[in-house]
Each structure stands twice: as structure tokens, then as C-alpha cells.
């Protein structure tokens, strides 16, 4: 296989930042380890998969290649029935989830064979393993409930008797930061990972937009900010963030900085979600808020627009949220057209 190998975007990448040296070393080591499947390995690297994922794909493919050799089945001519036969031999040995993972690996392998002209149609395309738990369905929050979380987010009152206490000053800074975080969740549907990797340069306030870098699991995108968000973001960027950095004596490129000694963004999110749950007991997680946002987007925009806004690499990921929309419809039918 010829041509340069494109690495998947790293945690620190922005737009088209050059791959880090350690990634190149990891690729070389991976190619040496998997020299039996060099072409397939290179193909997976061009798709942006991590080294750990590639190793799993190669391992699962080896199982099938060993089986096909034993059963005298030419891999390039393997049929839907052949793959089913391979699955049947595993049902009593491994869990359904493991079989599903192995089939996914084979899908990539047969796509590779088709791309390189070594095989025709992918025999795994129509295979789905039953009994596997699919995408979690969330209790979707109404649009008014999402906006209420933001507009009614309580900040410590400046005339509080403890206003000169250090702990109170810290609480004020954390609350102002958290309201900005909440706004990006409610209006732009950002994930916890994306919030934690935002930098100052990503906030394009003059344009009224925020840039969200891509990752191995998501695509980069530029999203419009709501007018009422911009003032809060501007105050945080110009004042609050600098005060947090001074208070904690930290140096960070991250847009959101913790007020404590920890550098872990998950700690910040955990405390924020606890506060939101007190504000509205229906709120359970950041994923639930994102699912609610995407579900409402699907009522306003077409599927491809929502795919871009959500940063989904595949449109099927966006389509999965249509189930939540159907649940809302069923609720409306029961409400306005009760049976009996």
C-alpha cells in the first residue's frame, strides 16, 4: 500500500496540527508488531483508528483467517453464509457482545479487501447480533427545561456577608465559569471531552462562534453562539478565568480551569451536574443534556445539518437520536388521543 499515512487527531490537535513524534513512533512499533497484516494495518491508520483499536481489529481478523483456512474457505470469496457459520462456532464459547465486536472488526477487514480490489461485496454488512444493548435512551428534557437550567442557574449573591472570605470568592468564580460551561452544553451540545479540551483560541467572540476541534470519535465544527451567551463568555474570558489562574497559580491553555489543585476537568463536571440535579431532579448526566439538545435539533434542522452540529462522523449516529423523537410523539399521541 502506497502513500502517506494520516494519523487520527490527537487530544491536543487543532484543525490540521502536525502529528506528534510519539504518535509516529507508536505507528512504527505497531507496523513492526503486526507485520503479517501490514496493508490492513496501514489502511486502518488512514481511517484514524487508535493503535489499541487496530490491534483488536487485527486480532479478530486473525481468528477468522485461521477459521477460513481450516474450513478451506477462500477469504476473498467468503459469503454471508460463511460468516454466519463462523459465528455459529463461537456462540457457546463467548458472549454476544464479543461476537458483535468481532463482526465489526470483520466489516472493516472486508471493506479493506473491497477497497484494494481483493474482494467484492462485504458479506458482513447485513449481520446484526441480537441481544446486544444498543444506544442508551435518555429521559429527554424539554427545550424549556434546558433553557431554564441556564437562565435560572444561581450565582452567589455579591452582597453575601461572606463576600470577603476566600472560599466565597472561589465559589463565585466557579459559578461564573460553570454557567459558561452549561451554556455550551445547552445551546451547542458539547460533550464533556470537548469542553475539557477547548482553548482560548477556540472562542471566536467577534464572529459569535465557537470552534470545536475534531477527535478520533468526532468531526471538527464551528457553532454559532447565542447572543445572551456571549456576555457571560466575554466576562469569563477577560476577567474570571484570569482570576482563577492567579488564585490557583496555574498556567494552562485550556479555556476552562478548575478552582482547586486538581487538573482533572471531570471533577468540575461532577460538581456541576450535582448542582443541576438539585435545580431540576430530572437532570441525570451531561450525556442526557446532549441527547436532549440533539433530539430538539432534529425537529428544527435536516439530518445532515444536525450531523455536522453534533460532530458525528457517521450519519447513523445522528439517526439513532430519532428514537427519542418517536418517544416524544408517542407521548403526545397518548396525551391527546387516549385509548379507552
- Do 133 and 124 touch, CB atoms closer than 8 A? no
Residue indicated by cell numbers 502506497: 2
Per-residue pLDDT 10s for the chain (340 aa) are 444 444 444 434 444 433 334 455 655 555 555 555 778 888 888 877 778 888 888 888 888 888 888 888 888 888 888 888 888 877 667 677 777 788 888 888 888 888 888 877 788 876 765 554 545 567 899 999 999 999 999 888 877 788 778 888 899 999 999 999 999 999 999 999 999 999 999 999 999 999 999 988 899 999 999 999 999 999 999 999 999 999 989 888 999 999 888 777 888 999 999 999 999 999 999 999 999 999 999 999 998 999 999 999 888 788 888 766 544 433 433 333 333 3
Q: What angle do CA 301, 305, 307 make, to 5 degrees?
A: 115
CA distances from 281 to 141, 271, 274, 284 (A): 11, 15, 10, 8
Provide the Cα torsion 39, 41, 43, 44; round to 10°.
170
Domains in the chain (CATH in brackets) are 21-115 (1.10.150), 143-336 (1.10.443.10)
**DSSP secondary structure, 83-149, as one string:** HHHHHHTTTTTS-HHHHHHHHHHHHHHHHHHHHTTS-SS-TTTT---TT---SPP--PPPHHHHHHH
Amino acid at each position: 500500500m502506497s502513500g502517506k499515512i494520516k494519523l487520527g487527531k490527537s487530544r491536543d490537535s487543532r484543525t490540521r496540527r502536525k502529528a506528534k513524534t510519539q504518535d509516529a513512533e507508536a505507528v512504527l512499533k505497531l507496523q513492526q508488531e503486526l507485520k503479517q497484516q501490514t496493508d490492513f494495518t496501514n489502511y486502518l491508520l488512514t481511517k484514524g483508528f487508535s493503535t489499541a483499536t487496530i490491534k483488536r481489529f487485527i486480532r479478530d481478523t486473525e481468528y477468522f483467517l485461521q477459521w477460513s483456512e481450516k474450513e478451506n474457505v477462500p477469504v476473498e470469496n467468503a459469503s454471508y453464509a460463511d460468516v454466519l457459520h463462523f459465528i455459529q462456532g463461537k456462540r457457546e464459547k463467548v458472549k454476544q457482545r464479543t461476537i458483535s465486536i468481532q463482526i465489526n472488526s470483520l466489516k472493516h477487514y472486508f471493506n479493506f479487501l473491497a477497497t484494494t480490489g481483493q474482494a467484492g461485496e462485504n458479506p458482513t454488512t447485513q449481520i446484526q447480533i441480537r441481544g446486544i444493548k444498543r444506544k442508551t435512551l435518555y429521559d429527554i428534557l424539554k427545550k424549556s427545561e434546558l433553557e431554564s437550567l441556564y437562565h435560572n442557574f444561581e450565582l452567589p449573591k455579591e452582597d453575601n456577608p461572606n463576600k470577603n472570605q476566600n472560599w466565597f470568592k472561589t465559589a463565585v468564580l466557579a459559578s461564573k465559569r460553570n454557567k459558561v460551561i452549561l451554556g455550551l452544553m445547552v445551546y451547542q451540545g458539547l460533550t464533556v471531552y470537548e469542553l475539557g479540551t477547548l482553548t482560548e483560541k477556540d472562542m471566536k467572540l467577534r464572529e459569535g462562534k465557537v470552534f470545536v476541534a475534531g477527535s478520533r470519535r468526532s468531526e471538527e465544527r464551528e457553532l454559532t453562539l447565542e447572543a445572551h451567551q456571549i456576555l457571560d463568555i466575554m466576562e469569563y474570558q477577560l476577567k474570571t478565568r484570569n482570576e482563577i489562574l492567579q488564585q490557583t497559580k496555574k498556567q494552562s491553555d485550556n479555556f476552562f480551569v478548575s478552582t482547586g489543585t486538581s487538573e482533572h476537568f471531570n471533577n468540575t463536571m461532577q460538581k456541576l451536574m450535582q448542582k443541576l440535579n438539585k435545580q431540576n431532579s430530572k437532570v441525570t448526566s451531561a450525556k442526557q443534556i446532549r441527547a436532549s439538545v440533539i433530539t430538539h435539533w432534529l425537529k428544527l434542522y435536516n439530518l445532515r445539518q444536525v450531523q455536522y452540529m453534533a460532530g458525528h462522523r457517521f450519519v447513523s449516529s445522528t439517526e439513532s437520536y430519532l428514537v427519542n423523537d418517536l418517544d416524544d410523539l408517542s407521548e403526545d399521541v397518548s396525551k391527546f388521543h387516549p385509548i379507552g
